[in-house]
């Protein structure tokens, strides 16, 4: 199994798939999830891109060091994965916490980023979201991941989708609940410790950027994405109706379509022949 070694020695698990001669696309998952969260993107994106997805420290098959963690460090972890694959520059797609890591990559490691897709993410803290993350961190440290199930599920998934697609969303819940409690808590603390001053550096981003959010996202609401799109020069905003925070799982066909259209513009590839809605959920 491929792995990369971070600067502090942490072993980072990653997987590659797709078009061997395609442009590299690095996928960065969010809090409490691992690369399995991209299950509905694997086939579709792999048709055109050399995909690389990894488990952040503290999640999946990557190591979960004692901590503390920082998002700056986790962005450096992403660079270590690119280095392990011999990739100088990649398109970068990040979701939720992974979207913040992607923002850091575009600012701190600008030469490694070809374009950005920022999904269900934000550029600053809200008081209510800080309180929520503090509760989740405390619960994970003192009661274990099982104590997060019902509450976290409500924040991650919209009510309409819960009723219609419970089976698939149980998969998402199992991914989160299977993570080591220490790793989840350390990731949550890394988000809490990230200063809002980072957003002041976002106007430096010069690569093509797509911001994607679900209309029912209550964890990183549409306003957060609007703010991101206004702050990053030339950024494109797409709001996917009916989806909540797990937009890439809840509305994979719509999500994949807007991402592929954006990347087609960036790479100069024709948009004709993109996978249809059925293929996008394969």
pLDDT tens-digit readout, 255-274 = 999 999 999 999 998 654 44
Q: Rounded CA gap, 172 and 69, in Å?
A: 24
| Ramachandran category for residue 18: left, alpha or beta (phi over 0 → left; psi -120 to 50 → alpha) | left
Query: What pTM did the predictor assign?
Result: 0.91
Q: Collapse the DSSP code of 201 into the 3-class scheme (helix H, G, I; strand E, B; otherwise coil) and give the result.
A: helix
Q: How does pLDDT run across 180-238, given as a tens digit for each residue?
A: 899 999 999 999 999 999 899 999 999 999 999 999 999 999 999 999 999 999 999 99
Q: Where are the domains of the chain?
A: 3-280
149-156 vs 127-143: helix crossing angle, rounded to 10: 150
Q: Check if the beta carbon of residue 79 is closer than 8 Å to that of residue 104.
A: no
Token pair listed for 166: 């419970």
Q: Please list the pLDDT of the chain residue by residue as tens digits (282 residues).
A: 689 999 999 999 999 999 999 999 999 999 989 999 999 999 999 999 999 999 999 999 999 999 899 999 999 999 999 999 999 999 999 999 999 999 999 999 999 999 999 999 999 999 999 999 999 999 999 998 887 766 666 766 655 555 554 544 556 666 777 788 999 999 999 999 999 998 999 999 999 999 999 999 999 999 999 999 999 999 999 999 999 898 998 899 999 999 999 999 999 986 544 444 444 443
Closest to 176 measured CA to CA, from 164, 185, 165:
185
Whether the bond into 68 is cis, omega within 30 of 0: yes
Q: Rounded CA gap, 112 and 114, in Å?
A: 7
Edge-to-edge strand ranges of the sheet holding 90-95: 3-5, 11-18, 49-54, 23-28, 90-95, 113-119, 209-214, 236-240
Architecture in CATH of 3-280: 3-Layer(aba) Sandwich (3.40)
Distance, C-alpha 197 to centroid of its chain: 21
């Amino acid at each position: 199994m491929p792995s990369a070694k971070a600067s502090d020695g942490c072993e980072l698990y990653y997987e590659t798939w797709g078009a061997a001669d395609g442009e590299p696309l690095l996928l960065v998952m969010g809090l409490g999830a691992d690369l399995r969260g991209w299950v509905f993107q694997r086939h579709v994106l792999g048709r055109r891109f050399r995909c690389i997805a990894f488990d952040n420290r503290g999640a999946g098959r990557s190591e979960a060091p004692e901590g503390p963690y920082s998002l700056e460090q986790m962005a450096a972890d992403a660079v270590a994965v690119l280095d392990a694959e011999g990739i100088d520059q990649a398109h970068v797609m990040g979701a939720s916490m992974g979207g913040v890591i992607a923002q850091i990559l575009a600012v701190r490691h600008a030469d490694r980023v070809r374009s950005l897709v920022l999904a269900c993410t934000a550029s600053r803290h809200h008081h209510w979201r800080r309180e929520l993350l503090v509760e989740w961190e405390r619960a994970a440290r003192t009661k274990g991941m099982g104590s997060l199930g019902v509450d976290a599920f409500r924040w991650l998934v919209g009510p309409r989708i819960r009723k219609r697609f419970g089976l698939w969303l149980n998969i998402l819940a199992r991914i989160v609940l299977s993570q080591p409690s220490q790793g989840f808590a350390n990731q949550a603390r890394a988000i809490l410790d990230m200063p809002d001053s980072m957003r002041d550096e976002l106007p430096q981003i010069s690569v093509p950027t797509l911001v994607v959010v679900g209309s029912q996202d209550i964890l990183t609401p549409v306003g957060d994405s609007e703010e991101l799109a206004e702050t990053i020069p030339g950024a494109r905003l797409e709001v996917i109706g009916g989806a909540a925070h797990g937009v890439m799982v809840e509305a994979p066909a719509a999500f994949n379509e807007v991402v592929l259209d954006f990347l087609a513009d960036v790479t100069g590839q024709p948009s004709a022949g993109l996978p249809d809605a059925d293929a996008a959920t394969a």
